């Protein structure tokens, strides 16, 4: 009699819709879990998959190392260019605190070496666009001397360590006065020359760029 009662109760449970739905839902969950295991391979996948992943990681590591090496080279080039720029500034660009005496002394030295007479000088300053510490100085200077001496002066200015740039030159010959010597009559009389010269000044303590 008890056996028959258990069978009757189990049969009733099977016929219960809630039990049937739970069984179906459980089966679906097991199916989804199996599909996820196949798709995502949480246990590492096959040996071929592992070899492929290792090769991909090695390739990424190689690319990263190459990019790091290129970045180091770029940093070295920037540092080298900056050092050369600083050396150029120190050597060729006049300190703003001493530009007046430095430039005047240099032009007078060049004129003396060329055997030419230096005249009046005037200056104008203009800030270089994009820089907070570099400005351009324009010098208008007069000289008097022979053509050969003026040519020598131009050559000396071109080689000056002060980085002088001749932007413009105006030359005039004085009129021959009666009684001048034969050498002046033959074209060796002095010329009056006005040079417009550009150079640059730096302000110490500022950023050049």
The predicted structure's pLDDT at residue 100: 75
Residues 19 and 109 occupy one common structural domain: no
Classify the phi-psi angles of 78: left when phi > 0, otherwise alpha if psi is within -120 to 50, otherwise beta.
alpha
Residues 34 and 101 occupy one common structural domain: no
pTM across the whole model: 0.53
Specify the DSSP element, H or E, that contains 12: helix 2-15
The predicted structure's pLDDT at residue 35: 66
Domain assignment of residue 17, yes or no: yes
Residues 24 and 100 occupy one common structural domain: no
Domain assignment of residue 71, yes or no: no
Instruction: Answer yes or no: are the C-beta atoms of 121 and 144 closer than 8 Å.
Output: no
Note down pLDDT in tens along the chain; length 209 residues: 455 545 454 555 555 667 667 777 777 777 667 666 666 555 555 677 778 888 888 888 888 888 988 888 898 888 888 887 777 777 777 777 777 778 888 899 999 999 999 888 888 888 888 777 788 889 999 999 998 999 999 999 988 888 888 999 998 876 655 555 544 444 467 889 999 999 888 876 544 44
What CATH number corresponds to the domain at position 181? 3.30.70.60
Which positions ≥6 away from 111 have C-beta within 8 Å? Answer: 117, 118, 143, 153
Specify the DSSP element, H or E, that contains 60: helix 47-92
Total domains in the fold of the chain: 2
The predicted structure's pLDDT at residue 186: 44
Of 141, 131, 133, 130, give the one whose Cα is nearest residue 167. Answer: 141
């Amino acid at each position: 009699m008890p056996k028959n009662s258990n069978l009757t109760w189990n049969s009733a449970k099977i016929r219960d819709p809630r039990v049937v739905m739970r069984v179906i839902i459980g089966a679906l969950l097991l199916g989804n879990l199996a599909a996820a295991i196949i798709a995502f391979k949480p246990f590492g996948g096959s040996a071929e998959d592992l070899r492929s992943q290792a090769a991909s990681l090695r390739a990424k590591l190689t690319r990263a190392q190459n990019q790091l090496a290129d970045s180091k080279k770029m940093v070295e080039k920037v540092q080298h260019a900056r050092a050369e720029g600083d050396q150029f500034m120190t050597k060729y660009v006049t300190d703003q605190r001493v530009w007046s005496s430095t430039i005047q002394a240099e032009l007078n030295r060049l004129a003396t070496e060329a055997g030419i007479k230096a005249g009046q000088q005037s200056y104008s300053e203009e800030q270089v666009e994009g820089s907070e510490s570099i400005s351009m100085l324009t010098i208008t200077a007069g000289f008097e001397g022979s053509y050969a001496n003026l040519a020598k002066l131009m050559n000396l200015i071109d080689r000056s360590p002060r980085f002088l740039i001749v932007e413009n030159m105006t030359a005039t010959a004085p009129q021959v006065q009666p009684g001048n010597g034969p050498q002046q009559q033959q074209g060796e009389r002095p010329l009056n020359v006005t040079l417009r010269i550009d150079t640059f000044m730096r302000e110490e303590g500022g950023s050049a760029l």
